[in-house]
Structure 1
Amino acid sequence: MKASVYLGPERVELRDIAEPKPGDDEVLIKVARAGLCGTDLHVYQGHMDQRVQIPLVMGHEMCGEIVGVPKDAEFKVGDRVVVEPTVACGACAACRRGHRHICQNLDFLGIDSAGAFQAFWNAPLDRLHRVPDALDDDAGALIEPLAVAVHDVRRAKVELGDRAVVIGGGPIGILIAMAARLDGAEVVISEVNPFRLAKARALGFEVVNPLETDLLAYTEDWTGGAGADLVFEVSGSAPGAKIMTELARVRGTIVLVGVHAEPPPVDLQRFFWRELHLVGCRVYEPIDFERAIRLAASGAVDVKALITDTLPLDDAAKGFEQMVAGGEVMKVLLDCQA
């Protein structure tokens, strides 16, 4: 069968590999669609070579159909599913406290073990979520990033009328904005990429390009000088980390979503004087996946609006090249059966 295999920095090739055989606690999934995300890009660029085992089949944003199940499983052949790609050890301190998604020995499928960039994929039974017929494969492949956003917004404890600034208007940033708006927040998105600014504006959001407009002055004017109730730092950039404390009101909440390659300077004096709250957010929990499925299936969140290209599996390298180039790209999907 076909698989897109990572072989080293900026080397992804289509390979013919053996179809996997599911274990007693696994199902075999015919992968319909898989999405390329920022984490996959980090792997592709070689930034995670100390963690991953090469060769590696990446991919954790996906939707597919079960074609093989063990005896007495609650799932059946023909079920359409998405996979929550976090496999916990169940024994560490985090797991014992019920925080399995931040397990200290986490196996993240598609990074620490084989992922979805292949025609057929084995996945653990306890990591599956059924998707309804109302959710097509394209939308299904975006459930995982939507679950990230749902988790971030849940952790933020959004209240009706909150004013939120989202720093970074990529796929996760826009999905956070969508989820926060549903929970009653007024949202402004800060982004420098013109295409992403236009996409966010088309989805009904107020947008600011901080290279053209002073974001702090804008936020102070928007909030009557108080500052934002919520600030989501999604950019993973040093400028984002710097301004996040300046934007938040007294006792405001800063939600850290973006992954920073190097620890950035953070204004701790501001935390002291304003009694700010800092909330770290990492991936998701099962309830976030279930809500993401409901939101996408009902049309409350239009996840397909973020799709900018769908490529056959053997063009995965082209998808990564699009992401590296930037410009008019948001979410690239792979058709794993093409």
Structure 2
Amino acid sequence: MEAVVFDGKTLTLKYDNKYPLPKIENDDDVIVKVEYSGICGTDLHIVQGEFPASKERPLPLGHEFSGTITDVGKKSVFRKGQKVVVDPNRACSLCDFCRKGKYQYCLTAGINSTVGIWRDGGWAQYVKVPQDQVYLLPDGVSTEQGGLCEPYSCVAHGYDRASPLLVGEKILIVGAGIIGNLWVTSLHQLGHRDVTVSEMNKVRLEIVNKLETGYRLVTPDVLEKEKQLYDVIIDCTGVGKVMEISFNYLRHGGKYVLFGCCPPTHQASINPFQIYDKELTIIGVKINPFSFPNALGWLKAMGNRYVNYEKLGVKTYALSEYESALKDLRAGLVSKAMFKIN
């Protein structure tokens, strides 16, 4: 089958049209024919050696994907032909963190066993996963929209972590890549209107404008000149230096949501007196523990008004076009590159 394969030892990608097809091995296995599979910012960090991934053997990356079931194990509750999405993360179900419902902290599972990072992922025509990581798409939600379910599930977890977010509060979104855009759509759907989006790439600001939310769109230099303060800042850049700068824009009692995934090498210097004096809250957001049901509900509620590839700046590519996809994404010509797999 076709696949885009990552070699963790050499940090290289290659297109392989003879990668082995997955087979049912366990009674609860499910094989999904992948239809849409996203390239995440984390994938870029992995390819650049900035984020841990498997080095045991070359494997397809891709932890954001949707598709159709083609085969199931004997004890599976699913059946062939069903449209599904896959949560790439899971609990070990044995450690203290997992038994408290917080598998994002698990030292053996969680992000440490992610499909598409540590196990064969969705940058391939077919992928095998345990059935407890499979979710049916609701009626009215397409596999195209489902391709964004995993990043939306992370946003849903972030929203829960930051809550309460009161309508009327001044919110600043820093970074208008796909994650920034998903926050834009989610906040607008949930009634928030006093939102500013900061992005240095004007092409990406034009993409946000297509979402027709009426949000204020600015470049970082405008923030620096204005010195406005915000109740909530959501950092979607994954850049330590950006946090160092934007942290100063919080008003008293404010919340800083560090959503973008920074490489482990990044550092940011902040003033502890500010945290004390303003009673500030710093909120980290790690993956998507049990938030897929919320994300599926969001997809159904938002529909084509928000979950629209053209409006969101999502462009589709064939697996064989992976080099062009990565190039366009790195250049900021698209907010997200998505493999559309035949």
In the TM superposition, residue 194 of structure 1 has moved relative to its aligned partner by 0.8
Looking at structure 1, the residues matched to 32 and 53 of structure 2 have their Cα atoms a distance apart, in angstroms, of 29
The answer on whether the counterparts of 1:149 and 1:176 sit within 8 Å (CA) in structure 2 is: yes
Task: Call closer, same or farther: CA 1:144–1:96 in 2, change over 3 Å.
Answer: same
Looking at structure 2, the residues matched to 296 and 265 of structure 1 have their Cα atoms a distance apart, in angstroms, of 37
Residue 254 of structure 1 aligns to a residue in which SS?
strand
Looking at structure 1, the residues matched to 115 and 142 of structure 2 have their Cα atoms a distance apart, in angstroms, of 22
In the TM superposition, residue 91 of structure 1 has moved relative to its aligned partner by 2.1
Q: Which residue of 2 aligns with 1:11?
A: 13
Q: Which residue of 2 aligns with 1:194?
A: 202
In the TM superposition, residue 206 of structure 1 has moved relative to its aligned partner by 1.1
Among 132, 139, 154, the alignment partner of 1:148 is: 154
The answer on whether the counterparts of 2:6 and 2:61 sit within 8 Å (CA) in structure 1 is: yes
The answer on whether the counterparts of 1:162 and 1:184 sit within 8 Å (CA) in structure 2 is: no
Among 74, 77, 81, the alignment partner of 1:78 is: 81
Q: Which residue of 2 aligns with 1:210?
A: 220
Task: Call closer, same or farther: CA 1:138–1:165 in 2, change over 3 Å.
Answer: same
In the TM superposition, residue 301 of structure 1 has moved relative to its aligned partner by 3.2
Say whether 1:89 aligns with 2:86: no
- Matched letter for residue 263 of structure 1: Q
Looking at structure 1, the residues matched to 76 and 22 of structure 2 have their Cα atoms a distance apart, in angstroms, of 18
Residue 87 of structure 1 aligns to a residue in which SS?
coil
Looking at structure 1, the residues matched to 29 and 72 of structure 2 have their Cα atoms a distance apart, in angstroms, of 7
Among 310, 329, 340, the alignment partner of 1:335 is: 340
In the TM superposition, residue 303 of structure 1 has moved relative to its aligned partner by 4.4
Q: Which residue of 2 aligns with 1:308?
A: 314
Looking at structure 2, the residues matched to 49 and 276 of structure 1 have their Cα atoms a distance apart, in angstroms, of 31
Deviations 1:65-84 (A, max 9, x none): 11111224221111111001
Q: Which residue of 2 aligns with 1:165?
A: 172
Q: Which residue of 2 aligns with 1:122?
A: 128
Looking at structure 1, the residues matched to 146 and 75 of structure 2 have their Cα atoms a distance apart, in angstroms, of 26
- Matched letter for residue 71 of structure 1: K
Task: Call closer, same or farther: CA 1:165–1:219 in 2, change over 3 Å.
Answer: farther
Among 263, 273, 294, the alignment partner of 2:297 is: 294
Q: Which residue of 2 aligns with 1:224?
A: none
Residue 196 of structure 2 aligns to a residue in which SS?
strand
In the TM superposition, residue 238 of structure 1 has moved relative to its aligned partner by 3.2
Looking at structure 2, the residues matched to 57 and 294 of structure 1 have their Cα atoms a distance apart, in angstroms, of 29
- Matched letter for residue 314 of structure 1: S
Task: Call closer, same or farther: CA 1:292–1:218 in 2, change over 3 Å.
Answer: farther
Residue 220 of structure 2 aligns to a residue in which SS?
coil
Among 103, 106, 110, the alignment partner of 1:103 is: 106
Q: Which residue of 2 aligns with 1:268?
A: 272
The answer on whether the counterparts of 2:84 and 2:143 sit within 8 Å (CA) in structure 1 is: no
Residues 247-258 of structure 1 aligned to structure 2 (within 5 Å): 247-258=249-260
- Matched letter for residue 209 of structure 1: T
Residue 292 of structure 2 aligns to a residue in which SS?
helix
The answer on whether the counterparts of 1:51 and 1:112 sit within 8 Å (CA) in structure 2 is: yes
Among 34, 37, 42, the alignment partner of 1:39 is: 42
Among 111, 118, 139, the alignment partner of 1:112 is: 118
Q: State the TM-score, normalizing by the size of structure 2.
A: 0.89
Looking at structure 2, the residues matched to 196 and 41 of structure 1 have their Cα atoms a distance apart, in angstroms, of 18
Looking at structure 2, the residues matched to 30 and 95 of structure 1 have their Cα atoms a distance apart, in angstroms, of 30
- Matched letter for residue 190 of structure 1: S
The answer on whether the counterparts of 1:142 and 1:303 sit within 8 Å (CA) in structure 2 is: no
Q: Which residue of 1 aligns with 2:240?
A: 238
Deviations 1:270-321 (A, max 9, x none): 11110101111111122x3222222223316324222432111222222112
Task: Call closer, same or farther: CA 1:101–1:24 in 2, change over 3 Å.
Answer: farther
Looking at structure 1, the residues matched to 56 and 308 of structure 2 have their Cα atoms a distance apart, in angstroms, of 32
Looking at structure 2, the residues matched to 252 and 3 of structure 1 have their Cα atoms a distance apart, in angstroms, of 45
Over the residues paired in the alignment, what is the CA RMSD in angstroms?
1.9
In the TM superposition, residue 216 of structure 1 has moved relative to its aligned partner by 4.8
Task: Call closer, same or farther: CA 1:294–1:228 in 2, change over 3 Å.
Answer: same
Stretches of structure 1 lacking an aligned partner (at least 5 in a row):
221-226
Q: Percent identity?
A: 28
Looking at structure 2, the residues matched to 141 and 294 of structure 1 have their Cα atoms a distance apart, in angstroms, of 14
The answer on whether the counterparts of 1:36 and 1:332 sit within 8 Å (CA) in structure 2 is: yes
Looking at structure 2, the residues matched to 265 and 51 of structure 1 have their Cα atoms a distance apart, in angstroms, of 31
In the TM superposition, residue 133 of structure 1 has moved relative to its aligned partner by 4.1
